[in-house]
Chains A and B, each alone.
Chain A
């Protein structure tokens, strides 16, 4: 198979991991909350999905039911984490950065705890379902096998998020809450409800990214260890895509390509690099993010700014 096509077919599915995290974080940030717990939430999503697969393995359910149930489990796991985050930052008005970092510590810990148990206990584990997730290309011997059902789900979710945010009343209200909660409150929007719902659904979507990475993209028992780093890139991707779900579909593919540049570029260009160059090539997505951060801040266009009240707690009596 053509090396370039192979590169693309690996990069785009990897990008979908970022896309889930990124769309989830966009929804959260549109409600005015910077959730640095996304890496932890993605891990927990992977863990709860795999936990469901493990316990459903003996029931003999049809493949598509298994996939749907584990996706739901991941979503619910994400929402549970989102609720903890919301309770602390919305109801108890704590500092969002600190809460988010604690969420990541906690989420990564829980995931390692759960996952290390699942792989060792013998029996079926959860990887038996890998081919169900890679439907319809599971039997392919090339990288095409990575383009499973959750790749399309990610794009659908991103499109839906874009539609809701820019074309519906709910989206308008949500953006109002993120820009200026006091004004939104004054026109009768239930700020707390919007913050809770947006953040929890966002966490649920991000959580799917973890499940996708374990079951489809990586398909190994070690996969859960690398989700955290990918989660941080998803958070960065939000800025890269200037808070737009549509842009994030392409942005995530680009990030996927950059992330894999280290291992694919030498074969693609037909040159042999010194071995020490590989770690430097792996820095590309981070350096590109930094450049994008700098460029967007220098250009300073009004429509490319984060939601105005991002990171600030809202207390009604303090208006």
Chain B
């Protein structure tokens, strides 16, 4: 209760947390953010590479929708990225910062290649594919499970643990590449066996598989007891313990699942696309997937859109870099800038900025 007659000093604006925001409003904020970021990108490219902004946007769109071949490439890239994003989603929803998807996918890919390399000649293709799949799932799950066990038992920092596991995975891949290539070139040629069968189009089967995984993760997170438990653990570990959830078990179980899906992504990359492996087979997609998952607020269905959007940006920007003959690093700059805007706009969704009312109130 203020009852002195002096005027009160009010700051120019203050920030209030919003309770709820209508969906259209939050979508509008995001669309504005994306539009603003594209504007900045096109201005930047105007300065850096003297590209006309209209031409810039045209090339960006044309890179994805320009031809049927590009559309297929886009769908394939989006599907693989989506698969990795789906894999890390249950862990992230549990607030387990798994930045080791890169390594988990790579180790899954390595297991697939190893099976094809050693067993390729001794069994029919369908059996080999099954073995490759199982090996990838198990190795991915192990790779994701190791940090989870330590996190569950002793609270070991999972962010750095999983990050280190990425390097461990790429070192192991390097080791096998030296082993497998007697010439010492470390370049493993294309495997002749263990290819996924082709339905209509070489990429179609992968896309269908990822759609199935999307539905699985969606149902798992929204309609099963496991999904309920992991979201409670993510919101509050103490609450979870209080209502009788075995937190350690949930952490380990979720990470096993997360790693296993990463393994599947590795299998899809090997059996469906690359038919080979290098240390950079995953190529940073494990990190990009984190953005994809986070942008979608860990909702698998929204993730289809965010994965498509990020792939669209990547493909568009790399088309621009070829078109204007500039360095291939241009896409990561564009993606970075767009991400800054999207990350920043979350503030305006979660908080409200209240400006000082202009009329000078006399406080009674």
Binding site for B on A (CB under 8 A): 34, 36, 84, 87-88, 91-95, 97-99, 101-113, 116-117, 229, 232, 235-236, 239, 275-280, 282-283, 286-287, 289-290, 293-294, 297-298, 300, 306, 315, 317-318
Docked complex Cα distance between A300 and B154 (Å): 8
**Which residue of A97, A102, A113, A297 is within 8 Å of B156 (Cβ)?**
A297
Inter-chain contact A235/B178, CB cutoff 8 Å: no
Q: List 24 A-B contacts (CB under 8 A).
A: A88-B344, A97-B290, A98-B290, A101-B99, A101-B290, A102-B336, A105-B284, A105-B336, A106-B335, A106-B337, A109-B333, A112-B327, A113-B326, A116-B327, A117-B327, A239-B157, A280-B171, A280-B175, A283-B168, A286-B168, A289-B164, A293-B156, A300-B155, A318-B17
**Which residue of B159, B164, B343 is within 8 Å of A102 (Cβ)?**
B343
Inter-chain contact A108/B17, CB cutoff 8 Å: no
Nearest to A290 among chain B residues (CB) is B164
Using known A-B contacts A112-B327, A293-B160, determine if residue A98 contacts B294 with beta carbons closer than 8 Å: yes
Docked complex Cα distance between A279 and B173 (Å): 9
B330 is an interface residue with CB less than 8 A from chain A: yes
Inter-chain contact A106/B336, CB cutoff 8 Å: yes
Q: Give 1 or 0 for each of B159-185: 1 = CB within 8 Å of chain A CB.
A: 111011101100110111011000010
B351 is an interface residue with CB less than 8 A from chain A: yes
Docked complex Cα distance between A133 and B282 (Å): 37
Beyond A36-B159, A298-B154, 18 additional contacts (C-beta under 8 Å) are A34-B159, A88-B340, A92-B346, A92-B347, A93-B351, A94-B346, A105-B288, A106-B340, A112-B332, A113-B327, A117-B327, A275-B178, A276-B179, A279-B178, A280-B172, A297-B154, A297-B155, A300-B154
Inter-chain contact A294/B150, CB cutoff 8 Å: yes
SS of B interface (majority)? helix
Chain A residues near B165: list those with CB within 8 A.
290
Total count of chain B residues near the partner, CB < 8 A: 53
Inter-chain contact A293/B161, CB cutoff 8 Å: yes
Nearest to A279 among chain B residues (CB) is B174
Inter-chain contact A94/B347, CB cutoff 8 Å: yes
Nearest to A298 among chain B residues (CB) is B154
Inter-chain contact B155/A98, CB cutoff 8 Å: no
**Which residue of A92, A112, A294 is within 8 Å of B329 (Cβ)?**
A112
B72 is an interface residue with CB less than 8 A from chain A: no
Nearest to B342 among chain A residues (CB) is A102
Using known A-B contacts A94-B346, A279-B171, A298-B154, determine if residue A105 contacts B160 with beta carbons closer than 8 Å: no
Chain A residues near B203: list those with CB within 8 A.
none
Q: How far is the CB of A159 from chain B (nearest CB, A)?
A: 25
**Which residue of A99, A112, A294 is within 8 Å of B343 (Cβ)?**
A99
